[in-house]
Amino acid sequence: MNRAIKFIAVLLAALVLLVVIAAALLPRFIDPNQFRGDITQTIYDQSGLKVNINGDIGWSIFPWVGLSLSDVAVEGKHNSKLAKLGSADVSVKVIPLLSKRIEMQTLELKGLELTLVKNKSGIGNWEVSAPVTTKQQPATTSEPADTTTDTKSTESSTSASAIKLNIASVNVSDLLISYDDQQAGQKYIIDNASLTTGAIRSQQPFDFHLKAHVEMPDLALNTSIMGNMTFNLEAGTYRLEKLNISASPDTAKAETVSIVGNLLYQQEPMLVQGNLGVNAFNAANLAKQIKLQLPPMADPKALTKVAFDSHFNTNGQSLNAEKLTFQLDDFSLNGNFKMSSIERGDMKFAFKGNHLNVDKYLPPATSSEPVASENSPNNNDRETTNQTQSSPPKEHPLIPEAMLRGLNLDGSLTLESLTVAKLLFEKPSVGIKAANGKQEVNIGSAFYQGTIDLTSTLDVRKAGNPKMAANGNLKGISLHALAKPLPDLKPVEGDVNTTMKLNTHGQYASTLTKNLNGDIAFQIDKGAFTEANFDKMVCETVAFVRKKELQTKDWGSITHFTDLSGTFVIANGVAKNKNLIAALANMNLKGDGYVNLVDRKMDYHIGLNIRGEESPGTDPACQINKDYVNVTWPVRCHGALDAPKCGVDTKRIGDVISSVASNKLQQKIEEKVQGPVKDLLKGLFK
């Protein structure tokens, strides 16, 4: 028995030895190059690609299954050049394959060139198909075979024993990919590309580095992707650490944009989490290097520092970015963003920022008007040019209805300060809610010693006719402080309190103005007209009636008032007012008229009424007596909104003269009539 066992053992050992010797010696006696024709024919039969192996084919069987190729060319459609390979070497250890472990030596690929061309008909040279054969197809049964069991068993086997990788390294060099889109007239090239890695093993981190030079229309970039990767095929997890994706223009002192971070991807249940950001870079310099023309900006240092950072996680159905940070020059913004349902687009966000000056990114203000030169057009040409320039530009829809109709969000934004058009908003806050085609925006801010509280709504449920409304309150805003950024307000001082209720509808600016309705009520306390002396205006009017000339030259330019209030009722873009009142130092002021926002014109009447027998001035030409007490002296402002003309209201001055004459007649009658007759006449002239 022992002899039999020994005999079998010796026999098996001899067989193993013979297999090893055969595997080692077989490649020496069988030259794979003699099978070139069979290999290229098989590839052609299966894919339609014509492959020419011009270099040597090397192979090994044991202990490594290895293959090496060199000087390989592939032809595409119409015998075009499709691919070229300098050399490739790959070898896999035999014994570990029995236990589903792939152990490889260094995988090397050198000199791979892919030439992809899409012709003017939109057909690519890679679009080839296998030749049609007349081989008889095997007979099929009437019912398809049930592969459910096999599939399930295969999946179960795969999941129970996943393949394990053990690759010494990967080295791909001299990779070239060109894509010529003749239909679009554009060409893209990726050259000098390479990929190197460390030892690739399951659950063990390894470094990788991919770099390439990319050329596209009007732009050339140097790109790089590097980092550290760890994977677990059995658990289906992949982790990227120290990820750095960078790109820079192919120019001297190039500006580099780098995306950095760490990522974790899990297959079951799906999970992606980590942090991604963009390192600080000079966006203005980058735009210049890639020949991107930016609009002129007031601040020459604008866009010199841009950075971004995020921490997030998603399961494919929801997204949670619990930390977001954005840096723009000296402005920083941070907050969070959530999507409870990516499919529905539900969004929530809350952001806080420091000081944002929008004016830095707007075009610089022009300080002077263009001066006419000797080559300026003549008067006729200038008139034609002005007519051309004054023609209204083509209008475009202002409200993106389709986008707004699908919004479902709830968010807030607060800043330390905001500067827009030289106006400073302190501690501004914005709250936004949108759902089912309706949006609501709440705005609050401290504003020049006062406050702003504004609520606006937008309804885009009806296509082509969005509806807007705004309700707001302005309290205690100092016109004196506000006049610093808005010099046009210098003529008026005081504290403004305003309430407004406005609504309109439409898609174009002109339509929105024509459909504007609502009312605006205002009151200015403890104010003054700093550039208008109403005493002078009244005195000029009195002197006009008396046919006298004023002797006073220095009247000053200030008229104080204790109260100024009124209400503008807006109907179809025209704001009308009938109750403007003001209590001045020596007189009362009343006003009425309209401001046409559609035509940009106004016509407003101001009446000045001297209280009692007080005189507005000391000039003899306008000294009044009791005949002129309680007479309203008219002033009119009319014309274009940007340049109104103000002066004595000659249309209403006749009524004033008639009123004065009536008073004088009544006085003479009273002097001659006594007793009951006098009382009767007094009643008639009241």
pLDDT in tens, 567-579: 999 999 999 988 8
In sequence order, the 6+-apart residues with CB closer than 8 A to the CB of 193 are 172, 174, 175, 176, 177, 210, 211, 212, 213
pLDDT at 432 over 80: yes
Looking at the chain, the whole-number percentage of residues with pLDDT higher than 70 is 74
Helix, coil or strand: residue 5: helix
- When pLDDT is averaged across residues 89-111 and rounded to a whole number, the result is 72
Of 327, 333, 325, 246, the C-alpha closest to 286 is 246
Write the secondary structure of 363-415 as one string of H (helix), E (strand) and C (coil): CCCCCCCCCCCCCCCCHHHHHHHHHHHHCCCCCCCCCCHHHHHCCEEEEEEEE
Measured CA distances, 353 to 322, 548, 661 (Å): 16, 64, 68
Q: Cα–chain-centroid distance for residue 250? A: 28
pLDDT at 468 over 70: yes
**Per-residue pLDDT at 583:** 77
- Of 174, 197, 217, which residue sits at a domain end? 217
In sequence order, the 6+-apart residues with CB closer than 8 A to the CB of 87 are 55, 68, 69, 70, 71, 108, 109, 110, 111
**CB-based contact 86:55 (threshold 8 Å):** no
- Per-residue pLDDT band for 434 (boundaries 50, 70, 90) equals very high
Highest mean pLDDT among 56-65, 158-167, 441-450: 441-450
d(CA 527, CA 483): 13
**CB-based contact 229:201 (threshold 8 Å):** no
Show the CA angle centred on residue 650, arms to residues 645 and 653, nearest 5°.
135
Dihedral sign computed on CA atoms, order 31, 33, 37, 39: positive
**Is 487 inside a domain boundary?**
yes
**CB-based contact 403:341 (threshold 8 Å):** no
Of 463, 497, 455, 459, the C-alpha closest to 478 is 497
Q: Is residue 363 exposed (0-12), middle (13-18) or buried (19+ Cβ within 10 Å)?
A: exposed
pLDDT at 489 over 50: yes
| pLDDT tens per residue across span 284-343 | 999 999 999 999 999 999 999 999 999 999 999 999 999 999 999 999 999 999 999 998
**Per-residue pLDDT at 134:** 54
The residue among 681 and 19 whose pLDDT is bigger is: 19
- Per-residue pLDDT band for 63 (boundaries 50, 70, 90) equals low
Alpha helices per DSSP H over 475-621:
479-482, 509-514, 534-546
**CB-based contact 570:519 (threshold 8 Å):** yes
Q: For 42-56, 241-255, 518-532, 667-681, which range has the lowest pLDDT when averaged over its residues?
A: 667-681
**Per-residue pLDDT at 302:** 95
| Residue 286 backbone zone (phi > 0: left; psi -120 to 50: alpha; other: beta) | alpha
d(CA 237, CA 265): 6
R_g of the chain, CA atoms, integer Å: 44
**Is 176 inside a domain boundary?**
yes
State the residue for tokens 């559609």.
598
pLDDT at 75 over 70: yes
pLDDT at 436 over 70: yes
In sequence order, the 6+-apart residues with CB closer than 8 A to the CB of 518 are 500, 501, 502, 503, 570
- When pLDDT is averaged across residues 649-655 and rounded to a whole number, the result is 66
**Per-residue pLDDT at 556:** 74
Q: Tokens in use for 336? A: 């969070």
**Is 42 inside a domain boundary?**
yes
- Give backbone dihedrals phi and psi of 539, rounded to 5 degrees, phi first: -60, -40
pLDDT at 523 over 60: yes
- Give backbone dihedrals phi and psi of 41, rounded to 5 degrees, phi first: -70, -40
pLDDT at 229 over 90: yes
In sequence order, the 6+-apart residues with CB closer than 8 A to the CB of 97 are 65
**CB-based contact 489:477 (threshold 8 Å):** no
- Mean pLDDT, the chain, as a whole number? 80
Of 10, 201, 236, the C-alpha closest to 101 is 201
CA atoms within 13 A on the CB side of 611: 9
- Per-residue pLDDT band for 624 (boundaries 50, 70, 90) equals low
**CB-based contact 506:517 (threshold 8 Å):** no
**Is 421 inside a domain boundary?**
no
**Is 97 inside a domain boundary?**
yes
d(CA 359, CA 420): 6
Q: Tokens in use for 471? A: 């309700």
d(CA 238, CA 267): 9
Q: Helix, strand, coil proportions of the chain in percent (round to 5)?
A: 25, 45, 30
| pLDDT tens per residue across span 354-399 | 999 999 999 887 644 444 333 444 444 444 444 444 556 677 888 8
**Per-residue pLDDT at 574:** 92
- Per-residue pLDDT band for 650 (boundaries 50, 70, 90) equals low
Q: For 3-12, 206-215, 454-463, which range has the lowest pLDDT when averaged over its residues?
A: 3-12
Measured CA distances, 73 to 138, 521, 584 (Å): 34, 83, 97
- When pLDDT is averaged across residues 511-524 and rounded to a whole number, the result is 92
**Is 10 inside a domain boundary?**
no
pTM of the model: 0.72
pLDDT at 405 over 60: yes
* Domain span holding position 210: 21-127+162-217
Highest mean pLDDT among 35-44, 77-86, 272-281, 480-489: 272-281
Please state the domain count of the chain. 2
Of 357, 351, 341, the C-alpha closest to 421 is 357
Of 440, 443, 439, 441, the C-alpha closest to 406 is 439
d(CA 176, CA 85): 10
d(CA 203, CA 211): 25
**Per-residue pLDDT at 324:** 97
The residue among 679 and 450 whose pLDDT is bigger is: 450
**Is 363 inside a domain boundary?**
no
d(CA 320, CA 330): 27
d(CA 312, CA 342): 14
**CB-based contact 57:33 (threshold 8 Å):** yes
* DSSP assignments along 8-34, one per residue: HHHHHHHHHHHHHHHHHHHHHHS-GGG
- Relative to beta strand 81-93, strand 64-75 is antiparallel
**Is 658 inside a domain boundary?**
yes
State the residue for tokens 């699908």.
406
The residue among 92 and 120 whose pLDDT is bigger is: 120
| pLDDT tens per residue across span 546-595 | 788 877 777 777 777 877 889 999 999 999 988 888 877 667 778 888 88
Angle separating helix axes 653-672 and 534-546, nearest 10 degrees = 60
**Per-residue pLDDT at 680:** 38
pLDDT at 156 over 50: no
- Of 217, 240, 264, which residue sits at a domain end? 217
d(CA 632, CA 107): 101
**Per-residue pLDDT at 635:** 76
- In this structure, the number of other CB atoms found within 10 A of the CB of residue 390 comes to 7
- Of 197, 217, 237, which residue sits at a domain end? 217
Q: Tokens in use for 454? A: 């504004």
Which H or E run includes 615?
Answer: none
Q: For 144-148, 202-206, 630-634, 679-683, which range has the lowest pLDDT when averaged over its residues?
A: 679-683
**Per-residue pLDDT at 472:** 94
**CB-based contact 483:423 (threshold 8 Å):** no
